[in-house]
Amino acid sequence: MLTEAYYVNNQEISAESSEASRRCYDFAVRYGDLLFERESVDVTHTMLAGENLEVKVEAPVRVSIDCEPGALWARVIRTKLGLLVSLIDLSAQDDDLWDGPKRPSAPITGVRVSIERVRRDAPRFHFADPDEAPGLAQLEASFDGRHDVVELPAFGPWALLLIREDAA
């Protein structure tokens, strides 16, 4: 694992760090078709930012569309299968340095994601996180008259929510 900016730092990592890294890499490989799809488009700024509220992320911590310490970083990617919301919890961190130590964080709870209803039928919401629920599990949503709303299970530093608006 790369831990230094240029030269490899040849040292052993703890068993806990090794296991956490393995879960994240396995998760990235499992969902590589979604995460690294060539035709995918980052629509964060047009669906989640500023006045654009087609997608809303509410949390007990600050939500940001940028990688910022002290916030839940949210991104929205349009893929062939639907909208992919990626959530990275940086709320316990003082910096966003990739090569510096990080504070342990507790699972985040109380995160809600809403999507504006654009079709007659409700979209389907599928949730996954590398620590507790690596397989996409369907979540039940409610409708508030304009948005379909789903409450996410508690998750660690990273979670994915796939929102599918078609019957495929």
Q: What is the pLDDT of residues 18-76, one digit of tens each?
A: 888 888 888 888 888 888 888 899 999 989 887 778 999 999 999 999 999 999 999 99
Mean pLDDT of 119-139: 90
Domain annotation covers residue 8: no
Residue 2 pLDDT class (50, 70, 90 cuts): low
Give the pLDDT band of residue 133 (cuts 50, 70, 90): confident
Q: Given a cut of 90, is residue 165 above it in pLDDT?
A: no
Is there a domain that residue 85 lies in? yes
Q: Assess if residue 142 is contained within a domain.
A: yes
Query: Is 10 within the bounds of a domain?
Result: no
Within a domain: residue 84? yes
Evaluate whether 77 touches 65 at the Cβ level (below 8 Å).
Answer: no
Domain containing residue 49: CATH number: 2.60.40.1180
How are beta strands 72-79 and 63-64 bridged, if at all? parallel
Query: In this structure, which amino acid lies at residue 67?
Result: C
User: Other C-beta atoms within 10 Å of 115: how many?
Assistant: 25
148 touches 142 (CB < 8 A):
yes
pLDDT at site 1: 61
**Do the domain assignments include residue 35?**
yes
Please, which residues have CB within 8 angstroms of residue 66's CB and are 6 or more apart in sequence? Answer: 73
pLDDT digits (tens, 9 = 90+) for 100-127: 788 888 999 999 999 999 888 899 999 9
Give me the phi and psi of 103, to 5 degrees please. -75, 145
Asked whether residue 7 is domain-assigned, the answer is no
What's the pTM value of the predicted model, to 2 decimals? 0.87
Number of domains in the chain: 1
Domain that residue 103 falls in: 15-164
- For residue 5, pLDDT over 80 is answered with no
Count of CB atoms within 10 A of residue 28's CB? 13
The structure tokens listed for 57 are 């992320």
Please report the pLDDT score of residue 119 as a whole number: 84
Domain annotation covers residue 1: no
Cβ-based burial of 87 (10 A; exposed 0-12, middle 13-18, buried ≥19): buried
